[in-house]
């Protein structure tokens, strides 16, 4: 995992969290449906079924928000790393060009020095 990019790790963790949230919502819905099955009145049973349905809808919505947030975070991180790499490459290229110019400026000075020496 030491070689893995952080954006991949973020997505994996979000997937695991998403599964955990959905499992908890299903478990809670099952508990509520069990209480609905034991309800003595029709109104009570219908109300508990409605609550169980709402529980699943809200759980799914929370899981979806969590997943979207994690994807946005992972994408943002990947973009930031890409921009940082491009910036580092640009700085390295400018440094190489500056070194090349400095070396080119040094060579004519050596030639002029040799010419002056030969002329004397």
Convert 49-69 to b/e letters by CB count within 10 Å (16 or more is b).
beebeebeeebeeebeeebee
In a domain, 51, yes or no: yes
The per-residue pLDDT for 1 is 41
In a domain, 119, yes or no: no
**pTM, whole model, 2 decimals?**
0.68
Domain of 42, in residue numbers: 6-93
pLDDT tens digit string along 96-108?
Answer: 888 888 877 776 6
Do 71 and 14 form a contact (C-beta atoms < 8 A)?
A: yes
In a domain, 64, yes or no: yes
In a domain, 105, yes or no: no
In a domain, 21, yes or no: yes
How many domains is the chain built from? 1
* Selection from 97, 95, 93 nearest residue 105 by Cα: 97
The per-residue pLDDT for 98 is 85
The per-residue pLDDT for 2 is 45
């Amino acid at each position: 995992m030491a070689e893995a990019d952080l954006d991949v790790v973020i997505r994996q963790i979000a997937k695991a969290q998403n599964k955990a949230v959905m499992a908890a919502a299903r478990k809670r819905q099952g508990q509520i449906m069990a209480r609905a099955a034991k309800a003595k009145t029709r109104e009570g049973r219908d109300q508990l079924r409605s609550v169980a349905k709402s529980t699943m809808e809200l759980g799914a919505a929370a899981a979806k928000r969590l997943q979207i947030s994690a994807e946005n975070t992972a994408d943002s991180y990947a973009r930031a790393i890409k921009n940082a790499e491009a910036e580092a490459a640009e700085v390295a290229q400018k440094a190489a060009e500056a070194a090349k110019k400095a070396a080119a400026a040094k060579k004519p000075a050596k030639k002029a020095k040799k010419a002056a020496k030969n002329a004397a």
